[in-house]
Amino acid sequence: MKFGILVNEGPYTHQASDSAYQFTKAALAKGHTIDRVFFYHDGVNNGTRFTTPPTDDRNLVNLWGGLAKEHNIDMVVCVAAAQRRGICDADEAKRHGKDGNNLADGFRISGLGQLIELGIQADRLVVFGD
């Protein structure tokens, strides 16, 4: 089965990001396909490289990035939600006159069209968070 994953909550605010990560890992281990994870609303906070949890805590940003690299998963952060929360890649930073960017490795910024495409192409779109 081909799953699409939508994450609407930040990595340390609610259980949604942890659950989405564990679901994604489990689905891949069972041989299912996941081509894209779309991060929306506060879920875009899963894509900032400035997240620095204590050393004895899990680093969900790095876990997502590692999963993306290992399984060639497209990790898309919604551009509008990211801009509202101060997350930008190098192109967006330049376009808006910012002096740096903070998008984590393994993530990219794009629009809601990527979510629509995900919903069309996946057999199931699984949503985590409100």
Query: What are residue 37's DSSP bridge partners?
Result: 5, 75
Residues in the chain: 130
Distance CA 57, CA 60 (A): 9
Q: How far is CA 82 from CA 78, 91, 96, in A?
A: 6, 13, 13
Active site residue 78: yes
Q: Which is the catalytic residue, given 6, 34, 78, 109?
A: 78
Residues with active-site annotation? 78
